[in-house]
């Protein structure tokens, strides 16, 4: 294992070096939070694919393949579909807005700032739990690598991510994500996939050994697939962690076509994980937990060196999602919650001073410590992630997409949608159970009904607000400073 350990240590040291290099480039708020809005197609595609394909997509995707066969690809497949839908239909408009958060978009669209405040709290809770669940995954990987205590593994893995994210912000995360994208591609698609199939005897032997349901594209169940679409496909459309990457594109064309490439990559990654899991079922038919399939096949079937690279790929998957969620959480906490609570500086943030970089860096550090502490204390990862996505989709999907697609939507309709949808999801999770499908089904329906009914019952959005909104959607308006944004979103 010495060679494998060396591969992992070199990889982790490289992540910290990237953080230090990124710190030298992050001189302004724009550079720190959205990489200066100047990523080209290649780097944009790689980093976007890296953030959406985390530990759940890698370790969890293989586990679903072990449990259900090829239809286990549906979870990651719906993530890819969501990224494709975002890229084709919405990313160009999102990129032209030139904001930093989803809540700022809501402020611009509806006016008044009230929708942004409420949505900021919901989005912060979502990004926090996403970062926590990603951080917990370090325990599994470091346990395989070093037989390490759970708490120590979480602190070690989390501290590395917090360190490079705090140092260089989005530039550091972008650079590390590109490395992680390459490592995942080589480790999972080019090495683990073919080796697993060969070790299982090829596709013919796999068909002979397993039930026919393992090769049924819908074997996982129609209701499960529909729930994945609601949670993951729609979740991709509105998450701050995803939008913040869209904001890094240097043009709306880059956002559209680069995201389309990343979404297509996700579809291939989904199928690869399911096939690896199916091969693992042939090799190890009696594993206690399906989520052990990835670690087991890596430990037992891969040669020295290759094993280290594939485990580094799993670590890369976790780190990319964790760092993306962390900077999103800190950005929302600082720009959407703390700045509003303190009433803003009242100065012009357009100068993008070192103070702004310092403040955002401090928030990443504080949120990172909170994430590590919560991850150490939390046990049920699946329930935490389900709560996060249910609140995100049930509370924010309708007002965000409604704002982009329906000009009659109002700030009162948006607020009602967030409150009714989010409240319904919480109440239904208490009634049906956190992992039930009903909360997101009924919560989303209630959110839509409240949005439409209240919007139609209240005065239309002020014409000046809508005119300014259309200017920004068309890309004709310059990027607003923090002070200008507060002023522009104050209702007359």
DSSP 278-325: HHHHHH-TT-S-GGGHHHHHHHHHSPTTHHHHHHHHHHHHHHHHHHHH
- CA distances (Å), origin 332, targets 176, 340, 358: 22, 11, 16
Among 274-278, 336-340, 426-430, the least confident range: 336-340
Tell me the two tokens of residue 459. Answer: 């005065």
Among 66-80, 240-254, 462-476, the least confident range: 462-476
Highest mean pLDDT among 208-217, 290-299, 313-322, 331-340 belongs to 208-217
Query: Which SS3 state, helix, strand or coil, does residue 39 take?
Result: strand
Question: What is the residue-wise DSSP string for 64-104?
Answer: HHHHHGGGGGHHHHHHHHHHHHIIIIIHHHHHHH--SSHHH
Tell me the two tokens of residue 348. Answer: 């012009």
Instruction: Answer yes or no: are the C-beta atoms of 274 and 70 closer than 8 Å.
Output: yes
Predicted confidence at residue 113, as pLDDT, reads: 67
β-bridge mates for residue 39, sequence order: 249
Say how many CA atoms lie within 13 Å of 22 toward its Cβ. 30
pLDDT tens by residue, 243-267: 999 999 999 899 999 999 999 999 9
Q: What is the percent of the chain with per-residue pLDDT over 70, rounded to a whole number?
A: 92
β-bridge mates for residue 249, sequence order: 39
Sort residue 462 into left (φ over 0), alpha (ψ -120 to 50) or beta. Answer: beta
pLDDT tens by residue, 345-378: 433 334 445 578 888 999 999 999 999 998 888 7
Instruction: Answer yes or no: are the C-beta atoms of 129 and 368 closer than 8 Å.
Output: no
pLDDT of 472 strictly over 70: yes
Q: Which residues of 66-88 are buried (b: 16+ CB within 10 A; e: fewer)?
A: bbbbbbbbbbbbbbbbbbbbbbe
Mean pLDDT in residue range 338-350: 58
Question: Sign of torsion, CA 233 433 60 172?
Answer: positive
Topology given in CATH for the domain delimited by 1-340+356-378: Sodium/glucose cotransporter (1.20.1730)
Distance CA 156, CA 430 (A): 34
Residue 472 neighbours by CB distance under 10 Å: 21
Give residue limits of the domains in the chain: 1-340+356-378, 380-478
Whole-prediction pTM: 0.87
Distance CA 290, CA 121 (A): 35
Q: CA Rg, the chain, in Å? A: 22
Predicted confidence at residue 97, as pLDDT, reads: 87
Tell me the two tokens of residue 410. Answer: 């109002």
């Amino acid at each position: 294992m010495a060679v494998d350990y060396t591969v992992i240590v070199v990889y982790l040291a490289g992540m910290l070096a990237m953080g230090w290099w990124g710190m030298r480039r992050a001189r302004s708020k724009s550079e720190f939070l959205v990489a200066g809005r100047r990523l080209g197609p290649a780097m944009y595609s790689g980093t976007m694919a890296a953030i959406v394909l985390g530990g759940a997509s890698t370790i969890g995707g293989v586990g679903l393949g072990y449990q259900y066969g090829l239809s286990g690809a549906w979870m990651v497949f719906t993530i890819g579909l969501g990224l494709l839908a975002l890229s084709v239909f919405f990313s160009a408009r999102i990129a032209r807005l030139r904001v930093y958060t989803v809540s700022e978009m809501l402020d611009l669209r509806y006016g008044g700032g009230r929708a942004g405040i409420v949505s900021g709290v919901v989005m912060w809770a979502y990004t926090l739990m996403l970062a926590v669940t990603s951080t917990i995954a370090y325990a599994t990987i470091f346990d395989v690598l070093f037989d390490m205590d759970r708490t120590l593994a979480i602190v070690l893995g989390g501290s590395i991510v917090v360190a490079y994210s705090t140092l260089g912000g989005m530039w550091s995360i972008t650079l590390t994500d590109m490395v992680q994208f390459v490592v995942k591609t080589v480790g999972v698609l080019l090495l683990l996939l073919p080796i697993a199939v060969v070790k299982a005897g090829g596709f013919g032997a796999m068909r002979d050994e397993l039930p026919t349901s393992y090769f049924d594209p819908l074997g996982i169940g129609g209701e499960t697939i529909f729930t994945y679409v609601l949670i993951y496909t729609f979740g991709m459309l509105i998450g701050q962690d995803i939008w913040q990457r869209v904001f890094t594109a240097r043009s709306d064309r880059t956002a559209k076509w680069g995201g389309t490439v990343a979404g297509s990559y996700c579809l291939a990654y989904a199928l690869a994980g399911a096939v690896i899991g199916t091969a693992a079922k042939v090799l190890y038919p009696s594993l206690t937990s399906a989520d052990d399939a990835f670690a087991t096949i890596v430990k037992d079937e891969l040669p020295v060196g290759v094993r280290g690279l594939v485990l580094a790929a799993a670590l890369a998957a976790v780190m990319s999602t964790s760092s993306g969620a962390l900077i999103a959480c800190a950005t929302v906490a600082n720009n959407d919650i703390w700045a509003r609570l303190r009433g803003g500086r009242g100065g012009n943030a357009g100068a993008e001073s070192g103070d702004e970089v310092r403040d955002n860096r401090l928030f990443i550090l504080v949120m990172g410590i909170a994430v590590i502490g919560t991850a150490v204390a939390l046990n049920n990862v699946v329930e935490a992630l389900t709560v996060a996505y249910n609140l995100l989709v049930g509370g924010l999907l309708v007002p965000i997409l409604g704002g982009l697609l329906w000009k009659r939507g109002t700030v009162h309709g948006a607020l009602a949608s967030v409150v009714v949808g989010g409240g319904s999801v919480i109440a239904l999770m208490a009634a049906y159970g956190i992992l039930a499908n009903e909360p997101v089904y009924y919560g989303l329906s209630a959110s839509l009904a409240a949005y439409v009914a209240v919007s139609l019952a209240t005065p239309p959005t002020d014409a000046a607000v809508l005119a300014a909104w259309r200017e920004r959607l068309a890309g004709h308006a310059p990027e607003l400073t923090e002070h200008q944004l507060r002023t522009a979103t104050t209702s007359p």
